[in-house]
Amino acid sequence: MRKEITFKTTIDGPTAAFSIGIMAFALGILGTLWLVGSKVIDRQAFGVIMMASMGVVVLALSIAQGFLPSRITVDPEHVIIRRPFGDKVLLRKEISDVRRMIRDERRMLMRLFGGEGVFGYVGRFRSSCHRGGFWVYARRRPREWVMIETRNKKYVVAPVDGDRFVELLKPQTSAASVNANTTPR
């Protein structure tokens, strides 16, 4: 029987407040355009423009939500980042390090591809310490991020109980790194 442990990846307070602020701002702009634009442009043409704009916003938010994690499952052989658009599966035997990201690692954080801020962070990012970049699947702010390093890639997640997550994965990664650095005599 396999023992699975599931970690929540809920959105935190500041990220939720930022997301609500952005949505209110966008609705304010659309409302202002509706009031002003409907008097300047033909009503039918304006209606089509407004519907198309709202469609683009809904599509973009739906795509972002699809790649954000709903939870993270850890079993003896895998770390599974559960997402609506498909799970990201990491083999535990390939994980070389798991740790909380320190402030210096997040310095000069730059998004290469994806989205940030509204409902979380998803996509490819880089920072001054990680020039090769890393994949982020997090609903929480950067100070709560956990770095998972594998042989080929780096991933960032933000489980609600990040310290417990790190401790759960640490013993296996510590033993793997000791074995990898030991040369036979």
* pLDDT per residue of the chain (185 residues) written in tens, 0 to 9: 368 899 999 888 888 888 888 888 888 887 787 777 666 777 777 778 778 888 887 887 788 788 889 999 999 999 999 999 999 999 999 999 999 998 888 888 888 888 776 788 888 999 888 878 999 999 888 888 999 999 889 999 999 999 999 999 986 555 544 444 443 43
Angle at 53 between CA 48 and CA 54, to 5 degrees: 100
Query: 55 — phi, psi (to 5°)?
Result: -65, -40
Q: Return d(Cα 26, Cα 20) in angstroms, integer.
A: 10
Predicted confidence at residue 91, as pLDDT, reads 94
Predicted confidence at residue 173, as pLDDT, reads 53
Count of domains in the chain? 1
Predicted confidence at residue 171, as pLDDT, reads 64
Q: Return d(Cα 19, Cα 21) in angstroms, integer.
A: 5
Measure the N-to-C terminal CA separation of the chain; round to a whole number of Å: 38
The reply to whether the predicted model has a pTM over 0.85 is no
Predicted confidence at residue 181, as pLDDT, reads 45
Angle at 28 between CA 21 and CA 121, to 5 degrees: 35
Whole domain around residue 143: which residue ranges?
1-185
Three-state DSSP class for residue 137: strand
